[in-house]
Amino acid sequence: MKKIGSFFLGFLGVFKKRKNVKLGIYGPPNAGKSTLANKITKDWLGEEMSKASPIPHETREIVVKEKITIKSKGKELTFNLVDTPGIATKIDYEDFLKYKLNAKEARERAKEATKGVIEAIKWLDNMDCVLVVLDSTQNPYSQVNITIIGNLAARNIPVLIVANKTDLRKADIKRVEAAFPQYPTIGISAEKGHNLEVFYDNLFKLMK
Amino acid sequence: MLTLQYIPYHEFAPLTLDDKLKRVLKSVKLDKIIIIEGRLDAVEESELIKRTMQQIDKKFKGIEIASIDYDFRSLDLLDKVKKNIAHFLLNRKPGLTIVGPATVVKEIRKDPTKIELMTLDKKNR
């Protein structure tokens, strides 16, 4: 009897989970996670959800936008979008001084950024699907990228790799693809809106 | 002066996760670059990042880390099988992990089979 009960509870759990599918956006700082999150919410809700800036660690808390419905070719997909702080292995407040922050602001930002990294890692367990946003002008073999993707693989979470900033001259999508051949990779420019239609098609495939 | 510390597999692998992280961070906070025989798994790495973030302060700015797998691609099939069986029997994760303090190690450049470690000049630390 207990087994039947737990089966139905499990079934209800899955049903509940599918109703509130969480799509996480992960990646290192300054890869364009918030820019992509804003692009998605702007396209489908008409409003932005996060603050994007060239200063690293602009997003220092988890930001969730609920019930985003996207449509393509007669299909519909509803999910909660989770924009996460960039994951890093080092944070030096002095790096923020280059962006004309004063020492107090820089220290405060660094302190908040460390908490943000911890929160982002903790939230990995809550995700149903994840977009790993990488700057396609940077070396994809950084340990942070490998750690993020390794953690998602260990949790069997479906992943789409988004090679962002393809509008820049140094962008190299092939290198990103070669680094993580086990996952689909899509090249976009979240800022310029390049290749977003293909991105949304891939999102449907990821979350089917 | 740079200090490199090598931790052999038989010393590191039996430790609990907590002890592994303490061992790594203790050495790194003494400005040592440590080379661990074997790989940390992804969950251990994320725990190391979390623990590092908790300890960042005015002096300790974080870590640089890189892991590398042994490249078995150049081996023929029989040698690959032999290597894999040996690692399985010894319960080893083949590879190498390098961890250094961010105030000493500027960058660890990595491609799939090679690691280059760039250190900061003392005057820039």
- The CATH number of whichever domain residue A109 belongs to comes to 3.40.50.300
Mean pLDDT of A60-67: 96
- Domain-embedded: residue A13: no
To which residue do tokens 């693989």 refer?
A: A153
- A 10 A CB-CB count for B76 gives 8
Q: B33-54: per-residue pLDDT in tens?
A: 999 999 899 999 999 999 999 9
With CB atoms and an 8 Å threshold, state whether A154 touches B43. Answer: yes
- Residue A16's pLDDT band (cuts 50, 70, 90): very low
Average per-residue pLDDT for chain A = 91
- A-chain CB neighbours of B57 within 8 Å are none
Pairing of strands B32-37, B96-101: antiparallel
Supply the pLDDT for residue A208: 80
**Residue A184 belongs to some domain of the structure:** yes
Lowest mean pLDDT among A12-26, A98-112, A169-183, B56-70: A12-26
Confidence grade of residue B78 (pLDDT, cut at 50, 70, 90): low
Eight-state DSSP code of residue B121: P
| CATH number of the domain enclosing B64 | 3.30.950
Q: Enumerate residues 6+ apart whose C-beta is below 8 A from A18.
A: none
Angle between helices B17-28 and B42-55 (to 10 degrees): 50
Distances (CA, A) of A39 to A21, A25, A31, A145: 19, 13, 14, 22
Residues of B in contact with A29 (CB under 8 A): none
pLDDT for B18 equals 97
Q: Which of A114, A143, A154 sits opposite B65 (nearest CB)?
A: A143
In one-letter notation, the amino acid at residue A162 is V
Helix (H) or strand (E) holding A97: helix A93-97
Evaluate whether residue A9 is within a structural domain: no
For residue B97, what are the domain limits?
3-124
Grade residue A165 by pLDDT with cuts at 50, 70 and 90. Answer: very high
From the CB of residue B99, how many other CB atoms can be counted at a distance below 10 Å?
A: 28
Average pLDDT over every residue of A131-141: 96
In a domain, residue A14? The reply is: no
Could you tell me which residue, A9 or B35, shows the higher pLDDT?
B35
- The answer as to whether A10 is a domain residue is no
Residues of B in contact with A88 (CB under 8 A): 49, 62
- Look at residue A99 and tell me if it is in a domain: yes
Residue A107 lies in a domain: yes
Q: CA–CA separation, B110 vs A34, rounded Å?
A: 27
By residue range, what is the domain housing residue A61? 20-207
Residue A15: pLDDT over 50: no
Say what the pLDDT of residue B74 is. Answer: 57
Phi, psi of A3 (to 5 degrees): -65, -40
Interface of chain B toward chain A, CB-CB under 8 angstroms: 41-43, 45-46, 49-50, 52-54, 56, 61-67, 102, 108-112
- In chain B, how many domains are there? 1
List the one residue out of A115, A54, A60 whose CA is nearest residue A86: A60
Total domains in the fold of chain A:
1
Shortest Cα–Cα distance, A13 to chain B (Å): 25
